[in-house]
Structure 1
Amino acid sequence: MANGKEPTRILVLGGGYVGLYTALGLQRKLRAREASVTVVDPQPHMTYQPFLPEAAAGAIEPRHVVVPLRRALRRCHVLTARVTKIDHGNKAVTVQGANGHVEQLGYDVLVVALGSVVRFLPVPGLAEQGIGFRTIGEAIYLRNHVMSKLDEASTTLDPVLRKRLLTFTFVGGGFAGVEALGELEDMARFATRYYENIEPDDLRWVLVEAAGRILPEVRPTLGVYTVMQLEKRGIEVYLDTMAKSFENGHVVLSDGTEFDSDTIVWTAGVKANPIIRESDLPVDKRGRLRATAAMQVEGHPDVWTAGDAAAVPDLSRIEEDPTATCPPNAQHAVRQARLLAKNIVRVLREQKPKPYKHKNIGSVASLGLHKGVGDVFRVKAKGFIAWGMHRAYHVKAMPTFNRKARVTVDWLLGGLFRREVISMGQIQDPKAEFERSSKS
């Protein structure tokens, strides 16, 4: 800790769910000069990922699903840089700015909230043909990409090329994959009414999942219901199936199925940020920081962690499984972060931190406009009701009143005027027109 004259230096690594909510809690609860808080993240904003599918589908303005860190954290220092090394032995963190500048930051208290990254598998062609769905940039790109494929398909006379252009493949049957597929399929089907030569049945949507079910967060019967609803919309669902290759856009599945697709979206899981495993802090076999129930890193009471980067004991399941840890999802990250901020303040004031114990309220997923599925308080919800619950829960969880209001207004305007389905293909290559003009 810092001495009695200087504020305690709290360094928060990551500006996602845990980083933002922890910093928000600290700036509300800390007394003047009790501590200084610095938040480090490569992006100047926090992305509320549950709204990415609706942003991609045009139901929400993309800018409204991100929270500017500097605006929300006015009593904190925000540093836009990427963490490259954690050396807790020397209480130093190395960061690199966008311009390549490298510097070391010291601290008294460290909060590791680096979250997770895409779990990338060695599938041939994935790096060249695939795209993830974790950032606002990827959501905007995917929306314009899908609309551009409709434009291209409407202007070609080649039936083979047309079929390839109108085939959209999603790998991963968790919330991210199912919601992105459901929203984008809904958007594209709506958009076909503006194309004279494209019918909804011309579109081919494929979901590939290695496990025997989708949406493992809800009860199995709701997973089956979701598959049935997707198949009713003409979406092909492959369970117990792995992707073997994507080379040159040619999809090969483990059951022998083969087809061509110009759109391959990879949502097949995440893993803890590799910077954590490379640090001198204790990690579990999955590369997550080993933590106590109070979210202090084991053996290091001045280091705190939560969210996807942390293996926090799941006290709600401790009797049935003493080794159980909280799953990496937004619900846990937000709840943990709120308690984490309080615990840091308690320790600063020489009080005992409280353990994190949650009551699972369930999960809800959107499957497109007015369609959803949910398992809340052990009650099954389907269709419009589940869709409404999904929106209500996430707008409540969205940080800051500013963003809650903007998202709500987007929904109201969408209800009055319907969603926008225009393609802004220039975003994919903004310098193309300028370069053509320079050569003319």
Structure 2
Amino acid sequence: MSDTHAQTVAYVRDTMLPQQPPPASEAGAVKWVRANLFPDILNGLLTLVALFIIFKILAGFLPWLFGGIWHTQSLAECREILDGATGGCFSVLTERWNQLLFGFKYPSEEYWRPALAFVMLFVAAAPLLFAMYVPRQVLYFTALYPFIAFWLIWGGTILTPIMALLGFIAGYIAFKKLEASSFAGALGAAVVTAFIVWFLGGYVTGAMSGVLALPEVPSRDMGGFMLNFILGTVCVSLSLPIGILLALGRQSHMPIIKWICVVFIEFIRGVPLITLLFVANVVLAYFLPPGTTFDLILRVIIMITMFSSAYIAEVIRGGLAALPKGQYEAADSLGLDYAQSMRLIIMPQALKISIPGIVNVAVGLFKDTTLVSVISMFDLVGMIRGPILASTEWNGVYWELWGFAILMFFPVCYGISQYSQWLERQLATDHR
């Protein structure tokens, strides 16, 4: 039987055939195009329509961009050079870049100070944003950065931020000394100690105002994108811890604390931000003693921080509500008190759940800083709508200026969004 079968088989291969490359339509760019752009007739038509729209946009935008004029003194001169040709008048950017970035009153010889503070911000934020990659020793610089940045941007004697720092240090020491006996008493002692140090520090800085002093720049002289960045950075940094406290206070079993937080959150969320800015600009002065000067930027920071912290509190409250009851019971079974359970078990999980909502509030807050232009603060939008477009040289330039505003805001907002997605991937400990 086997001999007959062997005689009928002409050839038996005893080696494997070499691997063949896949068909061209199933590999590389061709496969990607078929799978993503032309998987069926309907999606193929939509792809062709989208490509046509993109072509029309680029056909008008690219000649306007690359045919633009960068070195003229006015819009009329720019249009005379173009003589009907397609091109943007970008000379307004080369002529007014300093006003767009720093405002029209900030001393030009001091531009290095906010620029240096901006660069140092990345170093200070690194251990907070990328803790797993940055040495913990950098946290010392992070703690000092707010005081250094204040001195660089506003100027004056260096003793002012030093005394402010000493007040926080003294308050922290007083809090740690009394924390074991009574949390409320320790917090009160910390506040009193800090205010005492700041009160005494006012006399010291007044008597030694010339020690390591930079030229002072009042808040009314600040503007441009620098003002937007200051407001956005400070308000986001302050609103997150305040929002956490408000969220915890709203869930407190103490009726007074709970209702104070509820009334604050609901009132702030029911009032437009522009109304709060008008209150900061006009109404707040009526509640201060006559002759009292309250820095306008500080008033705006307080109002924007109150506004954003109310929204962040609701986002975090949603994260706390999303946690299963077993997490709270697990913390109680370990014998942890309220502060320990919140710090070690509950709050890390709630913040992880709340990351998308927190980022949404942060991005919206940074963009809402442009609303300060309605109270005569010359931020980036205020500079465009005010001194630049009101000038006879550049009255009529719109696309170039608003395009510059887009280039300033988009990288910041997009960077925040991308960082949040990266952080979610880093914290994705659950397996699905």
Report the TM-score when normalising by structure 1. 0.24
Q: Which has the higher helix share?
A: 2
Tell me: higher relative CO, structure 1 or 2? Use CA pairs within 8 A at least 6 residues apart. 1
Q: Which has the larger radius of gyration?
A: 2
Q: Which has the higher strand share?
A: 1
